[in-house]
Chain A
């Protein structure tokens, strides 16, 4: 069965600092990987995805993520965090043809001024 682990429940960074959110997945074949962001009281917005090819993927809002098969990881990064990035971030995995997304439990990001 596929699964996702986000080791950090809550992260606090200062505005302008760099950010890395960790994600580890478990899946028997090549996974499809996603990062979603959820602002308070809102639905989920797709930040970026990895299907195949270049292991460093660029997303919206200046985010990027790197797929590392050897480490079963798909960490999300941003060089300089803005106050508007405060939100909850979810990593998700699917198996391609089965369409079922499995989510991690989320990482809540707080940005200090």
Chain B
């Protein structure tokens, strides 16, 4: 049982490049979400999904796209990377219902955009 797995762990991009951050969970969780963590800012919600085929925006969605074709996977896409997207990205998942509020986090992806 691996929990929440994020790949890659580290990535360096040039401005304007695109990439996809991968997130997979093997706990059959319905709810998945993406956060970014910046120094002194805590974690901020980018996008979330309450089930396959359903996604919605969080607090800071601009510049990011998501899709949820399966229960297990929730990739985060940067279509044209900008230096402001330099951050540590965390994926989280949880069960539905009240337990959905107990979110389990991956180890993170550290992204630098030059």
The CA of A91 and the CA of B90, in the complex, are separated in Å by 16
B61 at the interface (CB under 8 A from A): no
Please give, as numbers and ranges, the residues of chain A lying within 8 Å of B33 by CB-CB distance.
99-101
Q: How many A-B residue pairs have CB under 8 A?
A: 59
The CA of A105 and the CA of B40, in the complex, are separated in Å by 6
- Cβ-defined contact, A96 with B101, below 8 A: yes
A interface residues, Cβ below 8 angstroms from B? 4, 9, 32, 34, 36, 42-46, 49, 51, 90, 94, 96, 99-106
Please give, as numbers and ranges, the residues of chain A lying within 8 Å of B107 by CB-CB distance.
42-43
B74 at the interface (CB under 8 A from A): no
Please give, as numbers and ranges, the residues of chain B lying within 8 Å of A49 by CB-CB distance.
101-102
- Cβ-defined contact, A100 with B58, below 8 A: yes
- Cβ-defined contact, B90 with A90, below 8 A: no
**Which of B35, B90, B101, B106 is packed against the most chain A CB atoms within 10 Å?**
B101
Q: Size band of the B side of the interface?
A: 20 to 34
Please give, as numbers and ranges, the residues of chain B lying within 8 Å of A51 by CB-CB distance.
98, 101
- Cβ-defined contact, B44 with A103, below 8 A: yes
B103 at the interface (CB under 8 A from A): yes
B interface residues, Cβ below 8 angstroms from A? 4, 31, 33, 35, 40-45, 48, 50, 58, 90, 92, 94, 98, 100-108
- Cβ-defined contact, B90 with A43, below 8 A: yes
Given A43-B107, A51-B98, answer yes or no on A100-B45 (Cβ-Cβ < 8 Å). yes
The CA of A103 and the CA of B58, in the complex, are separated in Å by 13
Please give, as numbers and ranges, the residues of chain B lying within 8 Å of A96 by CB-CB distance.
98, 101
Q: Please list the 7 inter-chain residue pairs (A to B) with the smallest Cβ-Cβ separation, ordered nearest first.
A: A103-B42, A43-B105, A105-B42, A44-B105, A103-B43, A99-B100, A43-B107
The CA of A55 and the CA of B38, in the complex, are separated in Å by 31
- Cβ-defined contact, B101 with A94, below 8 A: yes
Output the least CB separation between A30 and chain B (Å).
12
Please give, as numbers and ranges, the residues of chain A lying within 8 Å of B92 by CB-CB distance.
101
Please give, as numbers and ranges, the residues of chain A lying within 8 Å of B100 by CB-CB distance.
99
Given A42-B107, A43-B90, answer yes or no on A100-B40 (Cβ-Cβ < 8 Å). no
Instruction: Kindly list 15 other residue pairs between chains A and B, CB separation below 8 angstroms, not including A34-B102, A43-B90, A99-B94.
Output: A32-B101, A43-B105, A43-B106, A46-B103, A49-B102, A96-B98, A96-B101, A99-B33, A100-B33, A101-B45, A101-B101, A103-B35, A103-B43, A104-B42, A105-B40
